[in-house]
Structure 1
Amino acid sequence: MKGSVSVNHPRIRAITNWIFLRAAGGAKRPRILSQEQCFPEVRALEDRFPALKAEVEELLTSREIPRYGTFDPVRAAQVSEDWKLYYAYMFGQSNELARTECPTLLSFAESTPTVVNAFISILEPGVPLPPHKDPYAGVLRYHLAIRVPTDKPPRIRLEDEYYTWKEGEGVVLDVNHEHEVINESAQARVIVIIDFHRPLGFFARRLNRYMLRQKRKWAPQFVEASRYDVMHAA
């Protein structure tokens, strides 16, 4: 499917986002959250950090990772065309290459019902992400740092709060707040990102599950993009 999952059905998305954010506490909801409280399942992935890190590092040395602009140019124009992303799992669809390229990440995603997306994010030296909000409020975002520059380490701003990544450290962020990544480093920043169901009440939770099922049609566009360089190198 062509197009952008980030900009489709704006009126419906505005209504559902309002419902989700109101249920989550509105403007007073926290920006940086406790993973132990809202995503305790991720401990199983953190316990396997050495294996995960080795797989990601091997992937990065074996081939190029596609840039955001190559598979979602509409959203990339709003955020960054140079942001590199590798999707192991999206909206319930697995990237079959990830079974050998990053099996630890894919196995966790497939075995954890609350996971929506699981991918690797690479910001090359000096590539920032300007202020923006995630277009869908039904998920929270978990970051696990794989590689962080020691000189001028990148940091993320969520409204008026800042967080600096540390290798092996995980954090949960509500990226429906305005946020940006400040990157003045001379080395790449590499993190694993997992989107998971935002904890909600009964009605909002059921609505969220329904809306996420509707988004599954977009999964091939992102999963197949992660195969691009392999297919063209063959």
Structure 2
Amino acid sequence: MGRTEALLGRAVAANTRRMAARASDVDAPNPRPIDDVPWAAALASRHSTVRGEWDRFVADGGRLPRIGDLIAEDQGEEGSWRAGLLVSRGRPVPPLATVFPRTTAALGDVPGLWSALWSVLGPGTVLPAHRGPNGGVLRYHLGVACGDDAALRVGERTVAYRDGTGILFDDTAEHEAWNRGDADRVTLFLEVLRPAPLRIRATNRLVQEVLALDPRYRRAPQRAEEWHRALQPAGAS
């Protein structure tokens, strides 16, 4: 690990400790209840629109790269995990933001949205148990086309993926995901800035901006465009 990566790691770790102690949702269960999260309900209500754009992309021969190719780092998956970047640092990322305009518009209504991508687990794929390092964001998975027997475990709770249903969780807890079905499990994968008092919120956002300078993330939009050109059928947008 280089000096820059080590400094980033220390900054993220310190911020994660601070958020664990002082965020507004410190005592919330994990996964989070979402009945009183307006943006989650609003996004889930647009499932049919999101699903329609996804189905058209697939019908037109659209393909997504491996997530490890998108961020230039192996993610340890056992099987096939593909991803397509839609939003980075709160801003739409071409070309997929243009390919999926209505989905991107729906994402624009999510307060505190930091990043968003398509996440596709192929049949038989397992993401082994792990902990995320960044406690400054919460993750939200909206089931788009989930098939059967796909689920997420967070701590001691296991939640099945369902079309049109979201899961909001703190990924610094141990978690794993799997798709034991015979079809792809497709979700929208969001990172949302974690709720916190004003001063902590400002510090957290600064840390997220600094973390975005990590080459893995800073160059992801460029890689996304390059992989889109390489993978799409001739004549496709």
The normalised TM-score by structure 2 is 0.84
1:145 to 1:30, Cα distance in 2 relative to 1, 3 A: same
**Ranges in structure 1 where 5+ consecutive residues have no aligned partner:** none
For 1:14 and 1:117, how far apart are their aligned partners in 2? 20
1:167 to 163, 169, 175: 163
Indicate yes or no: 2:127 matched with 1:125.
no
Once the two structures are superposed, the pairs formed by residues 201-220 of structure 1 within 5 Å of their partners are 201-217=197-213, 219-220=217-218
Taking the aligned partners of 2:5 and 2:108, their CA distance within structure 1 comes to 23
> What SS does the corresponding residue of 1:33 show, helix, strand or coil?
coil
> Judging changes above 3 Å, is the alpha-carbon distance between structure 1 residues 210 and 26 closer, same or farther for their aligned structure 2 residues?
same
Contact 2:53–2:103 (8 Å) recurs in 1: no
Identify the residue that residue 197 of structure 1 maps to in structure 2. Answer: 193
- 1:84-103 matches, cutoff 5 A: 84-103=82-101
Q: Write the distance in 2 (CA, Å) between the matches of 1:49 and 1:183.
A: 20
Q: How many residues align?
A: 227
- When residues 223 and 205 of structure 1 are mapped into structure 2, their CA distance, relative to the original with a 3 A threshold, is same
1:187 corresponds to which residue?
A: 183
1:175 and 1:77, CA in 2 relative to 1: closer, same or farther beyond 3 A? Answer: closer
C-alpha contact (below 8 Å) 2:12/2:207 kept by paired residues: no
- Could you say what secondary structure the match of 1:52 adopts? helix
Q: Indicate if the aligned counterparts of 1:155 and 1:163 stay in contact, CA closer than 8 A.
A: yes
- Answer yes or no: is the 8 Å Cα contact 2:88–2:114 preserved in 1: yes
2:113 paired residue number: 115
Q: Is the 8 A contact 1:105 1:118 kept in 2?
A: no
CA distance in 2, matches of 1:8, 1:230: 32
1:143 corresponding residue in structure 2: 141
Residue type of the alignment partner of 1:134: G
Let me know the Cα RMSD of the aligned residues: 2.7
Deviating more after overlay: 61-70 vs 138-147: 61-70
Identity %: 22
Letter in 2 for 1:180: E
Task: Tell me how far 1:79 sits from its aligned partner.
Answer: 4.7
Q: Alpha-carbon deviation of 1:111?
A: 4.2
For 2:127 and 2:6, the matched residues in 1 are separated by 18
Cα offsets for 1:100-130 (capped at 9, x unmatched): 3211221233344411111110000111101
**1:158 corresponds to:** 154
Match 2:229 to one of 200, 219, 231: 231
Q: How big is the shift at 1:166?
A: 0.9
Query: Which stretches in structure 2 are left out of the alignment for 5+ residues?
Result: none
CA–CA distance in structure 1, aligned partners of residues 90 and 175 of structure 2: 26
Question: Counterpart of 1:177?
Answer: 173
| CA gap 1:77/1:230 in 2 versus in 1, 3 angstroms | closer
How far the C-alpha of 1:185 sits from its partner, in A, is: 1.7
Q: Residue 67 of structure 1 corresponds to which residue in structure 2?
A: 66
CA displacement 1:181-215 (0-9 Å, x = unmatched): 13322211001111111111233211111112223
Give the TM-score, by structure 1 length.
0.85
Which has a greater percent of helix? Answer: 1
